Amino acid sequence: MKKLAVVGAFIVVLAMLFWLIPKERMDAAQKHKADGSYEYAVVLGAKVNGETPSLSLRYRLESAAVYAKRYPHVTLVLSGGQGKDEEISEAQAMFQYLIDQGIAKERLIQEDRSTSTYENLQFSKELLPEVAGVTIISSDFHLARARFLARQLGWQSDVVAAKTPEIVKTKVSIRERLALLKTWIFRK
């Protein structure tokens, strides 16, 4: 019985660590607010429904448009490939959305090969000159992992946090904790 209690306590502690440590990192990442210091901002892609940005992607793009208008010297890298069920790449959908919001096409670079957060950053880095850091624009829950991966690629970063749609908050909160743990272990 004593062994069962110890195993149970161990499981409870692991579960708490699984929940609390990633949450603390997710919250801390959002405190590195962008202030226009970096010349480039990478907008991380999300699902496109046909040719229309999903709600998550639209929230990211709304945040990107506000940031781009506030800091007109910043160039945006729109990063996201085309999924099997998407008619166009995430980068193309982002490009069209931001053009419609009045952002000049000369300020937009499309990275349309990536299929993961690591690839978003890796392929975006290939398109840019040598820079010390970038601003990352993504959903609030996603920023800790994105910043960690940017560090793996040699970049410093600050962030613009887009809100997460209420309908997916619980699902992405759990999924992101697992993804963050995987990223810490495998470094990608």
For residue 74, pLDDT over 90 is answered with yes
Please enumerate, as own/partner, the contacts of 105-112 that have beta carbons within 8 Å and a separation of 24 or more. 107/68, 107/72, 107/74, 107/75, 107/76, 108/75, 108/76, 108/78, 109/75, 109/76, 109/77, 109/78, 110/78, 111/77, 111/78, 111/79, 111/80, 112/80, 112/81, 112/82
Q: Is the pTM of this model over 0.85?
A: yes
Helix (H, G, I), strand (E, B) or coil at 110: strand
Residue 181 pLDDT level (bands cut at 50, 70, 90): confident
According to the model, what pLDDT value does residue 13 have? 74
**Confidence check: pLDDT of 65 > 80:** yes
Identify the CA nearest to 161 among candidates 80, 48, 56, 76: 56
Q: Has residue 26 got a pLDDT over 90?
A: no
pLDDT at 21 over 80: no
Mean pLDDT of the chain: 91
Q: Is the pLDDT of residue 33 over 80?
A: yes
Query: Which pLDDT belongs to residue 63?
Result: 98
Residues of the chain above pLDDT 70, percent:
96
The amino acid occupying position 87 is: E
Query: For 128-157, how does the pLDDT look when each residue is reduced to its tens digit (9 = 90+)?
Result: 999 999 999 999 999 999 999 999 999 999
Tokens of 178: 């697992």
User: CA-based diameter of the chain, in Å?
Assistant: 69
Q: Higher pLDDT residue, 1 or 148?
A: 148
The better pLDDT of the pair 166, 18 is held by 166
Q: What is the model's pLDDT at position 111?
A: 98
- CA gap 87, 169 in Å, rounded: 26
pLDDT in tens, 75-123: 999 999 999 889 999 999 999 999 999 999 999 999 999 999 999 999 9
Which has more confidence, 28 or 43?
43
Q: Are 42 and 79 in contact (CB under 8 A)?
A: yes
What is the pLDDT confidence band of residue 18, given thresholds at 50, 70 and 90? low
Angle between helical axes of 90-100 and 55-70 (0-180°, round to 10) = 50
Three-state secondary structure call for residue 84? coil
- DSSP, collapsed to helix, strand or coil, labels residue 79 as strand
